[in-house]
Amino acid sequence: MAISEMCSAENIMGSKLMISVKMPNKDEPLLKEDTPELTKLTKGSSLKQILVALSANWGTINTGLVFGYTAVSLPQLMMVGSRIPINRHQASWIASVSTIGTPCGCILASYFTDLLGRKKTLIALQLPAIIGWLLVGSATSVQWIYIGRFLAGLSSGMIGSPSRVYTSEVSQPHLRGMLSAFASVGTSLGVMLEYFIGSLLDWDKLALFNATMPAMALFLAFFIPESPSWLISSKNDEIRCRASLRRVRDSKCDVDTEFNDLLMSTKTDESTSFKEKLRLISRPSAYKPFIIVSIYFLLSQFSGLNVVTFYAVDVIRDSGSTFDKYMATIVLGFIRLAFTVIGCMLMWRLGRKPLSYVSSVGCGISMLCFAGYMYQNTIWVAAGQPASNTWFPIASLFVFYACSTIGYLIVPWVMIGEVFPRQIRGMLGGVATCVGHFSIFIVLQTYPMLQELVTKSGTFAVYGVVSLLSTVFFYYFCPETKNKTLQEIEDSFHNKKKQKKPVVISANATASVQCNNNNKKFTYPDIVFNLPNRDTNVTV
């Protein structure tokens, strides 16, 4: 047998020169003493994560109580014989003073969430709500109602960021979207509770009932663990971080892998001073998501979402529908609660971007239909003709409210707890929450001006066009965070680095490698492709 034939790679691997060795099965241990190690699960207990998220978001019910209180209390306060009689000017202040406290609460939360931690902030923010509702319930003058409403609004502003940030940090990617939407469910539930309980109790007893909700949230907050992400990034406390992870997962879950990921991601971020936070804000991973979330809030509000919420009775009356306007408002409340729950489940299955498309397209089309009927109704009124198909505008409003709840009322609030860097997540989350509430203020203030400029039907047509155009923004800029870890989401906002050219080896006599640093090219002989071929006619 020729030497070249014996050296052939094909001959060596396939001939009888190879010593026959029985290879173990892939499932068998290499050594008899070895026993296959049981691999731990990567997904923790869903029940534990759900219970922790419910406890952290219980205080968001207070936000709904603040929204719905004036709808049922102002008619009672303005009645003849009221314990504290008020006029229309004082009624407007009772309704709006909470919106002054809400942005203040957002700013305070952005500071305390990173300074004190998520858990302590969730405990502290319940106190203003409890005190505020007690002041309203025991008020002897309208000034005490102002103070109480301000404190309740302050607490509702503070709860927005830490509850969502905490939920996103203790939940795993496959549950995070659904659990982060609990805050929106809590707000809708609070509105429904206020409408229902308000029909049974007087305004002062209703306020005392409202105080029980933040009191229960305060009690539950004592039993939740501190955020593992905050413990390792702000306190560098590895022992408590591991313990916190074990509490929100279970003994069968691979906590060590998740802990090592947190530890590795914080190694280069030791300092969290104010100057360091300002430097972090200038990074793309901070300002890009902040801009995206802020624009999302503006677009969602300029779709007419809270205009319908705050002016529901007037909007239904001006539409030309013969449906009872007060009953229609109650139905809208039920739609909000039901589709908030549906939106949570859909977010878990579909993600953030599809729900945004549902809201932008659905709200745009339904609002244009509503504006078209309103315009036609003005023509019928001017001509003295009776209106036809009076069910159409109220049906358009129901569709609009359902579509807006699925995406606009959930997605941007969930993103607050997901897209910001860990070291400044609390601060930027609070500022973004403030932007969301300020967007509501802008839309409500411009609504009367738009009606004077482009008429009532034209105003809703503008909202419909804005909603449809926002689809383009969601397609190109809205990030999809479904099933991604918080670190993966943060990394996705960094500037893309140029990929290195791969090493290409051709099947010829030489192979070359291009070095990017000094632009030198090295060649070396290719011994793999130059092995002699096996002659099948030669026998040994």
The C-alpha atoms of residue 329 and residue 309 are separated, in whole angstroms, by 9
The overall average pLDDT reported for the chain is 78
Q: Is 407's pLDDT higher than 80? A: yes
Q: Is 218's pLDDT higher than 90? A: yes
For position 507, what pLDDT does the model report? Answer: 44
For the segment 383-412, the average pLDDT, to the nearest whole number, is: 89
The band of 39, judged by pLDDT with boundaries at 50, 70 and 90, is low
For position 41, what pLDDT does the model report? Answer: 60
For position 137, what pLDDT does the model report? Answer: 92
Q: Is 15's pLDDT higher than 50? A: no
Question: What is the sign of the dihedral through the CA atoms of 289, 294, 298 and 301?
Answer: positive
For the segment 106-134, the average pLDDT, to the nearest whole number, is: 88
So what's the architecture of 283-481 in CATH? Up-down Bundle (1.20)
The band of 512, judged by pLDDT with boundaries at 50, 70 and 90, is very low
Q: Is 452's pLDDT higher than 50? A: yes
Residues 295, 473: contact at Cβ < 8 Å?
A: yes
For position 268, what pLDDT does the model report? Answer: 52
The band of 389, judged by pLDDT with boundaries at 50, 70 and 90, is confident
Q: Using alpha carbons only, give the angle 167, 163, 414 rounded to the nearest 5 degrees.
A: 65
For the segment 294-304, the average pLDDT, to the nearest whole number, is: 91
For the segment 154-158, the average pLDDT, to the nearest whole number, is: 88
Q: Which residue has the higher pLDDT, 46 or 533?
A: 46
Give the DSSP H/E element, type plus range, for residue 510: strand 510-514
pLDDT, tens digit (0-9, with 9 covering 90-100), for 352-374: 889 999 999 999 999 999 999 99
The C-alpha atoms of residue 494 and residue 381 are separated, in whole angstroms, by 57
The band of 439, judged by pLDDT with boundaries at 50, 70 and 90, is confident
For position 481, what pLDDT does the model report? Answer: 81
Q: What percent of the chain has pLDDT over 70?
A: 80
Q: Which residue has the higher pLDDT, 508 or 123?
A: 123
The band of 522, judged by pLDDT with boundaries at 50, 70 and 90, is very low
Q: Where are the domains of the chain?
A: 44-224, 283-481
Which DSSP state fits 385?
P
pLDDT, tens digit (0-9, with 9 covering 90-100), for 57-79: 999 999 888 887 877 787 788 88
The C-alpha atoms of residue 304 and residue 404 are separated, in whole angstroms, by 9
Residue range 44-224, CATH number: 1.20.1250.20
Q: Is 117's pLDDT higher than 80? A: yes
Q: Is 406's pLDDT higher than 70? A: yes
For position 367, what pLDDT does the model report? Answer: 94
The C-alpha atoms of residue 188 and residue 165 are separated, in whole angstroms, by 19
Which SS3 state, helix, strand or coil, does residue 189 take? helix
For position 42, what pLDDT does the model report? Answer: 67
For position 151, what pLDDT does the model report? Answer: 94
Q: What percent of the chain has pLDDT over 90?
A: 22
Angle between helices 425-477 and 142-170 in degrees, nearest 10: 70
For the segment 76-86, the average pLDDT, to the nearest whole number, is: 84
Residues 172, 157: contact at Cβ < 8 Å?
A: no
Contacts of 87 (CB under 8 A, 6+ apart): 78
Give the DSSP H/E element, type plus range, for residue 513: strand 510-514
The C-alpha atoms of residue 121 and residue 126 are separated, in whole angstroms, by 9
For position 81, what pLDDT does the model report? Answer: 82
Residues 433, 195: contact at Cβ < 8 Å?
A: no
Q: The tokens of 30 are what? A: 């290499």
For position 462, what pLDDT does the model report? Answer: 94
The band of 30, judged by pLDDT with boundaries at 50, 70 and 90, is very low
For the segment 173-197, the average pLDDT, to the nearest whole number, is: 80
Q: Which residue has the higher pLDDT, 145 or 381?
A: 145
